[in-house]
Amino acid sequence: MANHKSALKRIRSSEAKRLRNRYQHKTTRTFIKRLRNTTDKSEAQELLKKVSGMLDKLAKRNIIHKNKAANNKSKLTKLVNSL
How far is CA 69 from its chain centroid? 8
Q: Which domain holds residue 64?
A: 5-82
CATH number, domain containing residue 49 = 1.20.58.110
pTM, rounded to two decimals: 0.83
For the chain, how big is the Rg over CA atoms in Å? 17
pLDDT at 4: 92
**Along the chain (83 residues), what's the average pLDDT of each consecutive run of 10 residues?**
88 96 96 93 94 96 96 95 90
Cα(57)–Cα(3) distance, integer angstroms:
35
Domain count, the chain: 1
Phi-psi region at 62: left, alpha or beta (left = phi > 0; alpha = psi -120 to 50): left
